[in-house]
């Protein structure tokens, strides 16, 4: 790796970790399969919407247009499951792709991991940790007093 590329990678890492506070790099591109436009959980103010009553209250207070385009289709232990009326099921396309809301524009973001979700099977995106396991182990290995070096200890976190 050239010196310029190394410097660029360090700046990129710093920017993502310290400024954007991200833990993963996102790679790839959308294959336009439409899978993420069906059976949607919605997170509002950091929490997945769990009940219809909660959703009705959110709609009353929040003028976000996306909430007017979605409909509850079921519910499971995780929360309400929605469909979107801007999704053309036959063509598997968003009817408002150019004007789609930020919640769709930003998909997928690493926040999906923080509440236990995953990418759809076959999604063209993938995530890679910014700090690799190798780097973490190298850092830990430098600190001789660290309990990770003591094989009699089990660390669960
Ligand atoms: S699941 Fe992934 S590849 Fe498919 S439409 Fe959504 S973002 Fe694009
Ligand atoms: S607005 Fe478009 S991109 Fe967003 S969920 Fe609906 S169909 Fe998909």
The answer to whether 120 and 24 have CB atoms below 8 angstroms apart is no
Phi, psi of 78 (to 5 degrees): -80, -35
Residue 146 pLDDT > 70, yes or no? no
Residue 29 to residue 31: CA distance in whole angstroms:
6
Mean pLDDT: which of 70-74, 136-140, 151-155 is highest? 70-74
Tokens matching residue 53: 């009553």
The answer to whether 110 and 23 have CB atoms below 8 angstroms apart is yes
Residue 94 pLDDT > 70, yes or no? yes
Tokens matching residue 52: 């219809």
Encode pLDDT of 95-118 as tens digits. Answer: 999 999 998 999 998 888 777 778
pLDDT-based confidence at residue 155 (cuts at 50, 70, 90)? low
**Residue of 43, 69, 107, 120 to mutate, ligand 2, most atoms within 8 A of C-beta:** 69
Give nearest CA residue, ligand 2 atom 5: 37
**112 within ligand 1 shell (Cβ under 6 A):** no
> For the whole model, what pTM was predicted?
0.74
Phi, psi of 67 (to 5 degrees): -65, -15
Q: Which residues line ligand 2 (CB under 6 A)?
A: 37, 84, 86-87, 94, 96, 100, 104
């Amino acid at each position: 790796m050239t010196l310029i590329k190394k410097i660029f990678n360090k700046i990129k890492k710093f920017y993502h970790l310290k400024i954007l506070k991200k833990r993963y790099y996102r790679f790839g591109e959308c294959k336009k399969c439409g899978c993420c436009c069906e059976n949607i959980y919605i997170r509002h103010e950091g929490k997945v919407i769990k009940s219809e009553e909660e959703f009705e209250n959110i709609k009353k207070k929040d003028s976000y247009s996306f909430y007017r385009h979605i409909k509850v289709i079921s519910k499971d232990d995780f929360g309400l499951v929605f469909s979107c009326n801007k999704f053309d099921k036959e063509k598997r396309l968003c009817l408002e792709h150019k004007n789609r809301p930020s919640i769709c524009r930003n998909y997928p973001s690493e926040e999906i991991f923080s509440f236990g979700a995953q990418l759809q099977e076959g999604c063209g995106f993938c995530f890679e940790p910014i700090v690799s396991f190798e780097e973490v182990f190298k850092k830990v290995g430098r600190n001789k007093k660290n309990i990770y070096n003591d094989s009699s200890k089990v660390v669960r976190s």
